A and B are shown apart, each in its own frame.
Chain A
């Protein structure tokens, strides 16, 4: 029996606590659209989020929700996928979550390559703590906590390509259909799929506005001759930031899955394994 999944299935009852005009609304539309397009039922989806406005995201989507600590969604999402590979696991972070507090997990999860999708909402500012610089804030941009201007600006997608992350993409909250398509490809991708989403903060970032992004973003699909399988080209593309900002699939590569490497599969998930103390009798004899 095939159940037809509709957008309504993903509509959660919780009251949405985002600022009017926030880029998150576009992301929410895009993710719902992608899940409907993939025809995945809500109870097959686990969303694990961190803290910040992005952290609220799973509460606004009908699905399993594990709202984690700041910077920590990735380890929990990783383990949940290993324990039960039948779940479609989507981890959701903000830029502070992913690149600041969770930087170590970010690097190592890309190396590990567990089959999860990682959506990073990047508005280039810490919004929930009211406007401080984040790892991706543009150089020299001043905030109350950084009156001398932001000192470094991380290029997370270049870091991802350097880590040989098996899927690296960038979307824009103002391009909902394009973003939905990216999420769809990312969820289908076998391995760790990083999708960074440019998402203007209408309250605290007065530089990187919708308008600012709109004038700069361009779609990689339209770039003649661009090959996401070419790592060196992808690295250069991931560094591109300024007058032109690429969106689309930057890098994609087939790599073995960590969960297969350690011997777990959807056919025999750990969560369904029996507990039988008596099977350890022989092992105990090794202590004799």
Chain B
């Protein structure tokens, strides 16, 4: 029997929703399940409405589901907002403390009234533990292996001391036992632990941050901005043991210019920001293009324009990333489709940046940034570090004169670093000659533009082909990019199961655009439907520009919420009929 079980935890900001969700997820993962967990929260510190979904499957899961199995309602608002999303009776359960929530659900068979506060006080003399009681109740209701939960609780709370950790275990046990006894006959769902897990569980931005460190990034400068603050914070905390320096700058302008300074001086450097911050960085991006300095910029998209919906998701900045910067210069744009991609493409970003001495943009979004997923551990022995044409001290000292911007066939000039040998390294934001000194003459300008633009050919040859999943008999191709991969892939599975086979074409390495590969696939398909989290179909437009092929239809979502597979399935059916 297949398992596809969806927990939801809802309440106010500050009620510990993310931590309950994280612990529940990890306990599930350790029992051998695949878990996908997403966060939905408002831009406020306390109050409002937040929730997190924890989707548990016995096979890969890469997107949320909109059908809730167990709702852990920490306030009445949660019940009012999400009751409609519950699965049918018998498969659904709402866990709440009727004394505080006063849901009015008393007569419904799906309610399990757990005296959370009372049990917390009884078991630990600490009212604060109510959340942990609720967490225990959620697992008790499905008879999950309690020891797995206890293990995660001990690990998560051990830094607060043994007493706190053990109290949490006690509180969870109280909730677990209560739910086990009282869940009633109407809820028959069970989740049994399967086998020991070897997987890891992390968010997209943790994968980017970890990937950057693995790639040898030594310097990160940034100004906190949702949703990329998590990258800055991860590297700031974990990078300390590995000599990685993180500077919190006065603004994003400083951040990008610091990264240029660090890249010039010779380390792998990165900044991470969101659309608004990227706006401020655009001038510096252009500088990196002109001075041919390797920089990696993570652009974590969120809905705009201006401040938009700060804590929500959108893919509205593909065109911005493509065109950001005054003047013409080569760049690469990578858009991870999931956690694995986020890790491996980040490493690729650093290699490309140094090999082509150009800016590389990693385009993520809030959905990828904050959603957790189970993946196999990354095989670090497969990581390659390619620093491109970086001259050694010996090579530098053999040169009679060093030209930082030497004109070459590939457009890439051998790169010397200050104080690695005695070469003088000069570069200029003005147009310059091969020595890096400013010029005004027409022919040198022409040659330098051509030299820089030749790097696009090299970049194009390095980019992977788009991801294609074909199905026998499919007449429709679903086309997407970046973080929506999971939902699109799952939609394909659902449609195939319903007798409507579709192909999937997914782009995670977007620029230079793989026009030939994309055209080949789209021409072989009767109907191409572009699925994007934006209002204008940015990939559809880009595809038309680069291949001449027009989208037959689009499924666009720009309400700030992520795609689910079912949402796509509904849209495709409408288009197919």
Contacts and interface: CB of A to CB of B under 8 A. Distances in A.
Contacts of B216: 275-277
B269 to A, nearest CB: 7
A162 interface: no
Contacts of B541: none
Interface string A253-287: 00000000011100000110101111111011001
Nearest to B381: A278
Interface in A22-66: 42-44, 46, 48, 51, 56, 58-59, 62-66
Contacts of A46: 265, 418
B430 A67 contact: yes
Given A59-B426, A64-B426, A288-B199, A79 B259 contact: yes
Contacts of B430: 67
B7 interface: no
B423 A43 contact: yes
Nearest to A51: B429
Specify which of A62, A78, A87 lies most central, judged by the most chain B CB atoms within 10 Å of its CB: A78
Contacts of B200: 284, 287-288
B380 A271 contact: no
Interface string B244-282: 010101110111011111101111110000000000000
Contacts of B201: 287-288
B261 A271 contact: no
Given A67-B428, A277-B385, A279-B242, A14 B283 contact: no
A90 interface: no
Contact of B260 (A76, A104, A273): A76
What interface size band does chain B fall in?
Answer: 35 or more
Interface string B356-386: 0000000000000000000001101101010
Contacts of B250: 104-105, 107-108
Contact of A69 (B257, B425, B426): B257
30 contacts: A14-B437, A65-B424, A65-B427, A66-B261, A66-B426, A67-B430, A67-B438, A72-B254, A75-B253, A75-B254, A77-B261, A78-B258, A79-B260, A80-B261, A82-B247, A83-B218, A83-B219, A83-B261, A87-B418, A87-B419, A105-B254, A270-B245, A271-B218, A277-B215, A283-B238, A283-B241, A284-B200, A284-B378, A284-B380, A287-B206
Interface of B: 197-202, 206, 210, 213-216, 218-219, 221, 238, 241-243, 245, 247, 249-251, 253-255, 257-262, 264-269, 283-284, 287, 291, 377-378, 380-381, 383, 385, 417-420, 422-430, 436-438
Interface of A: 14, 42-44, 46, 48, 51, 56, 58-59, 62-69, 72, 74-80, 82-84, 86-87, 104-105, 107-108, 262-264, 270-271, 273, 275-281, 283-284, 287-288
